[in-house]
Structure 1
Amino acid sequence: MIKKIYVPVDNSDYSDASIALAVAFARKFGSELVGSHVYAAKMHDVRFKQMEYTLPEEYQDEVELEKQRRIHDTLITMGLQLISDSYLEVMQQKCAEFEIPFEARMPEGKHFIKLVEDIQEGDYDLVIMGALGMGAVKDSLIGGVCERVVRRINTDTLIVRDLESIEERKGNILVGIDGSPESFSGLKTAIQLGHKLNRQVEAVGVYDPYLHYIVFNSVVNVLTERAARTFRFKEQEQLHEEVIDTGLAKIYQSHLEVARSIAKEEHDYALKITLLDGKAYEKILQYARKTNPWLLVFRQNRSPQ
């Protein structure tokens, strides 16, 4: 199922937690791990050139400047490569401890761009990366690199937001179901993870009947008396309450029933299902805070490149 896992590393606490989780997954699924650290040597070269005018007069000679550029470029490139080696060595040692196949990668360039390119060009089944990195801003919930990467790749991605080990963290696996093929695919992945990691899987669906009330009420305030009679507003409102709201609930309940059938027929798994009403993101947040799941599985809409 999960043959090859890609893990960006940067020596942060979230990076260490990502490595630990990837190792745990690799031991369960027999996966190969790929660790990657992006270093930005060329960016430092640009910065050096931008600051050349601030150097003492004896360094302003073009021949001397060129010499200093070469020295700076060599030292920076070598230094950043050594740092990358050190970060990846930590992961390599953990893999060696459990005889897990490991590959180290050190692309050069802008962090999120190179990670996206590396992931898109590889044949990875899963990406595991920390929500935050070394440059984390106080009170941030997700870092800029993580967000940019996730929005630009198609590979399944597990974002690590809890620093506790997989053994210490309790809770089930919560899957959002909206009837899309992606959500049912996520369900199948969740069930396979649940089997391997001994976690209960629960599917949750959310429908929103309240938006239509808001629309109706906003329309009625601007309709003329003649328009209200023409559109038979009161009759339409009653129809909405009796048919549309009930229909929405039935549609999303049917999505959950399909999910339960998939779990039973394809995986012989008794799936727990829960239907909620309201704004999807709000209700899922509330339910997650109430049930405290170990993992959330959702489909994501990708942003433009």
Structure 2
Amino acid sequence: MDVGIIGMGKMGRGMAASLARAGHTVRAWNRSPEGAQGIPGVTPVATAAEAFAGDAAITMLADDAALEAVVVEGGLLDGGGRPSVHLGMSTVSVALAERLTAIHGRAGIPYVSAPVFGRPDVAEAGKLNIVAAGPAEAIDGAAPVLDAMGAKTWRYGEDAKRANAVKLAGNFMIVAAIEAMGEACALSESHGVPGAEFLDLVMNTIFAAPIYKNYGGAIAASRYDPPGFGLSLGAKDVRLALQAAEGAGVPMPVASVLRDNLIEAIAHGDGAKDLAALAEVSRRRSRRG
């Protein structure tokens, strides 16, 4: 299939590589042109409009503001490019998903929300878990593209915002797991048990799950650079989860605590580090006084 990708950060580059490896024709655009270069089988293009065409156009941008700036304010829906489907794979707000569904409907371009679970190495391997919601026929038509990037596509109906709600709920759980590990390490360390030894136990017994093993390993080694998923992006996702919860009348007291701790981590200078650096908030607090 003929695929265009807009947004070539670490995740976008991995996804583009997976698509090219599967035999798809891939065009890529990035606001910083060098981001779209040097990927075997992927052709860099000069404008976002050149990527917003073909059998599927993918957006993988950092946040709501970036997606709106490129797609809406950039006039992609008003231009000559008419992709068969727009796959919005960024982690963005439920409110923006609703807005994009409406404006794509007016433009006559099918819109599918398809955010992903997985870090850059998983994207590179084509093993992402993709959460998709939108017109069933559009998802069916994009299946070869989705299958090239993911181990499985999890479908949540025709209302695109459902996929974004699922993604934000999942990311909230990831951040909560890191916070729990950080607090538990601070407790064990305060009684003379190294955090790495405590985590070795729980990661191989009661919490032998990928999230605990991946982030727990980083916490145990204090390995926060280079980031696989930045702490500032985690803060953005928790904020979006709280916004979605408020709009639906859903209290999320733990998410409120996570937001405050993430703000503290960013204020301490950890925003550009891996999300696992959130664990250092509890460690620093336990050393006070």
TM range (shorter): 0.3 to 0.5
**TM-score computed with the length of structure 2 as normaliser:** 0.34
Bigger Rg over Cα: 1
**TM-score computed with the length of structure 1 as normaliser:** 0.33
